[in-house]
Amino acid sequence: MRFLRQLGRTCLLVLLVAAGTLALVRYAPGYFSDPREMDAEHAATIRAEIDARRETDSSSRAMAVRIVQGWLHGQLGTSRQYQVPVGELIRPRLGVTARLVAGGLAFGWLAAVALAVPLSMRLNSAGEAAIAAGSALLLAIPVGALATIFLLTNTGGPTLTLGLLLAARDFKFVYRLLRAQWREPHLLFARAQGMTVKQIVYHSLLRPLSPQLASLATMSFVMALSLAVPAEVLFDLPGIGQLAWGAAMNRDLPLLLAVTLLMATAVGLSGLVCPPALTLQEKLEPA
């Protein structure tokens, strides 16, 4: 029942995002402009195309109906830039982005948990300050700068870039959660009773924290999708992020709209697997 309610909420959210995105795209001041207009050779053709679009998209309701009908028939529209169906552009790139995001998430989570478990158990205040400074430094590096430095020094790829930035963000939250947990009386008692660290970590630390960690995983997923864009662009990786960037640069709004909705659906579905991320955010931020 709870799952069905959550599924219904997810569908409603995706519908809301679809309606909002459509409105945003249709009423954007640059909707009826195209960078190809600047090319004198094709300017006349492009202007004719824009005029035709102005006719067909004059009513936002008609535009919405046309787009939804297309989606129901499995067509995501036609890319303005490439003049091919959007689905054909997205399909081969899904795997590239999925591999990048999965690799980055795996690296980030393994690094964050592997560092946070021992450090949260042993650190004194000086160590905590050092950890805070290190984490602040990693969090302060923009993804573009890190990717460029990796490219220039030939030391890392997109997965490492994504993984490191996710590790810095996840570590901060995981460390804070574990630090509070280690101070719980039942854990102090378990340690005093001679339970091994391995047993405590598995039975009394990670398992009880699994709902919070699952929520954090959803937040990491959303973050990874955002970070994938600059990583793919800078490393010239033909994924969904690079496609979205190309669409944004060339004002290919049908393509951008489809990619954005795809992302909203992915985030919605990840929220179904894990409890809502906000529960954790609300728990952490007022503190």
Partner 1 sequence: MQRLALTLLLLLALSALFLGLRPHASYSAQDREQAAAGASALHPAGTDALGRDRLTRVAVAALLGLTGAVSAATLTTVIAAGVGVLAALGPSFLEGPLLLLCDAFLALPWLFLLMMVRSGMPLGTAPLLSAAATFFILALLGWPACARAVHAGAARMRCADWMTQGRAGGLRTTQLMQWHVLPRLGSLLSPQFLISVPAFLMAEANLGTLGLGVTEPLPSWGSMLLELDHSAVMGGSLWIYLPVVSLVGTLVLLELLVTEEARA
List residues near partner 1 by CB under 8 A: 9, 12-14, 16-17, 20-21, 24-25, 28-31, 33, 35, 37-38, 129, 132-133, 136-137, 139-145, 148-149, 152, 222-223, 225-227, 229-230, 233-234, 244-245, 247-249, 251, 253, 256-257, 259-260, 263-264, 267-268, 271, 276-278, 281-282, 285-287
8 A C-beta contact, residue 144 and residue 230:
yes
3-class secondary-structure state, position 59: coil
Residue 121: both structure tokens together: 């158990």
DSSP string covering 25-55: HHTSTTTT--GGGG-TTTHHHHHHHHHHHHH
Nearer to partner 1, 200 or 264 (CB): 264
Helix ranges (H only) for 27-157 are 43-56, 60-72, 86-122, 125-139, 143-153
The distance of Cα 206 from the centroid of its chain, to the nearest Å, equals 24
Q: State the nearest-atom distance from the C-beta of 141 to partner 1, in Å.
A: 6
Nearer to partner 1, 7 or 12 (CB): 12
For residue 152, how many C-alpha atoms fall within 13 Å in the half-sphere facing its CB?
A: 6
8 A C-beta contact, residue 191 and residue 200:
yes
Nearer to partner 1, 213 or 253 (CB): 253
Nearer to partner 1, 9 or 99 (CB): 9
Q: State the nearest-atom distance from the C-beta of 52 to partner 1, in Å.
A: 19
Q: Could you tell me which residues come within 8 angstroms of residue 120 by beta carbon, excluding any fewer than 6 positions away? A: 175, 178, 179, 181, 182
Nearer to partner 1, 144 or 211 (CB): 144
Q: State the nearest-atom distance from the C-beta of 280 to partner 1, in Å.
A: 11
Q: State the nearest-atom distance from the C-beta of 69 to partner 1, in Å.
A: 22
Nearer to partner 1, 70 or 241 (CB): 241
Q: State the nearest-atom distance from the C-beta of 68 to partner 1, in Å.
A: 17
Nearer to partner 1, 100 or 229 (CB): 229
Q: State the nearest-atom distance from the C-beta of 217 to partner 1, in Å.
A: 15
Phi, psi (rounded to 5 degrees) for 78 = -115, 135
Residue 103: both structure tokens together: 């690799």
Q: State the nearest-atom distance from the C-beta of 239 to partner 1, in Å.
A: 13
Q: 158-182 and 86-122 helices cross at what angle (nearest 10)?
A: 40
Residue 178: both structure tokens together: 């574990």
